[in-house]
Structure 1
Amino acid sequence: MSLSVCLLFDQRTDRALRALWGRLESIGVSTLLTHTHEKHLPHLSYAVLRSWDIDRVIEAVASLPASTPIPLHFDTVGHFHRGRAALIAAPCTDLLDRQKRMVSALTSTGADLHHYYLPGRWVPHTGLATHVRAAQLARMTSLAHDVLPLDATATGAAIIDSGTGLRHDLAIIP
């Protein structure tokens, strides 16, 4: 599977996204609510690693400067290949700078970063659907638009193993 370094949302945003996942599941759209181990959290990933040394990753992330909670603005639904869908965050300079620092720290450990998370290729997003069929796109998008625009705040961060759901909460927001 993969290891992600994620921003976690304030309670209001977390509840809104979980409720949206539930509405999507009710129309037959697969979401993170029922995906794999069912421990997924609403999040925005700075980076997704395909191979890593967990101790080196934790050390590298801990060496980054602590930052303040980051405001995020979601106003777009994106459809990625392989049936994935997400809410897209406006890529503000602060978010892009933080992600670039994170990638630099992680790649310095020898970890293999998924190419979609390279600076310049990364699309900041929070996942909605793990698999949406073409016939479901209009309804899924309509339900997503019911929560947009969504102003969120990333108030925490974690390193999460997507295969197991194991989570290492970070003491800082990088």
Structure 2
Amino acid sequence: MAHALAAFFDDAAEADIRALWRRLDDAGVPSLGTRTGGAHRPHVTLAAAGGIPGAARKALRAELELLSIPDLWLHTLGTFPGEDRVLLLGAVVDTELLAVHSAVHDALAGKVQHPSAYYFPGAWIPHCALAQGITDDQLAAGFRALQPPEAVRAGIGEIAIVDTRTGDTETLLTR
């Protein structure tokens, strides 16, 4: 995907996630922080598409200004099925979060190029990735290093469009 709509965390939650990344690194599991030289910012992706053009960005900005964005509770340590191993902290899903997610997708409907079905309402698994592209042994070591998982209360400090190829961001909302 070329563009993602990312909800970046407040300073306290970002520090908590970066502390988890350090624990993973200490256990020999390359975290996302390490793999990107510290450039990766902890976040939850709300939507992704091949392209999010100007009209869609304008609609998103207007919609986001009207919404009450809830804090996220990142609590569940998990992974996805498939060959690409990902270690993640899953968010507790409640009606407030689902309402924001649905509103975002309503604003994007018919305005983006090649939307990713993984982020559609009903298919979306809200999460913050901790490590990806790791081996089975590293996944197991990551689970051990982060046990027992402690909940991270993640206030949303910024919502932005991220160019997934370059890392460039366009802020749509700051709190």
Tell me which interval the TM-score lies in, with the shorter structure as reference length. 0.7 to 0.9
TM-score by length of 2: 0.86
Structure 1 position 13 matched with structure 2 position 50: no
Q: How does 1:9-158 map to 2 (within 5 A)?
A: 9-35=9-35, 39-49=39-49, 51-66=50-65, 67-80=67-80, 81=82, 82-145=84-147, 148-158=150-160
- Following the alignment from structure 1 to structure 2, what is the Cα–Cα distance between the partners of residues 61 and 8? 16
Shift in Å, 1:54: 3.1
TM-score between both structures, scaled by the size of structure 1: 0.87
Output the aligned Cα RMSD: 2.1
1:39/1:74 CA distance change after superposition, 3 Å: same
* 1:44-101 residue CA offsets vs partner (Å, 9 max, x unmatched): 111111x114323321211214233422112211211311121000111111111111
Paired residue type of 1:72: L
Aligned to 1:161: 163
Percent identical? 28
Distance 1:105 1:37 in 2: 34
Instruction: Give the drift of 1:164.
Output: 0.8
8 Å Cα contact 1:29-1:129 kept in structure 2: yes
Name the CA distance, whole Å, in 2 between partners of 1:58 and 1:30. Answer: 34
CA distance in 1, matches of 2:76, 2:21: 16
Structure 1 SS opposite 2:74: strand
Return 64-73 or 81-90, whichever deviates more.
Answer: 64-73
Structure 1 counterpart SS, 2:173: coil
| Unaligned segments of structure 2, at least 5 residues | none
Extract structure 1 runs of 4+ deviating beyond 3 A.
34-38
Distance 1:58 1:37 in 2: 29
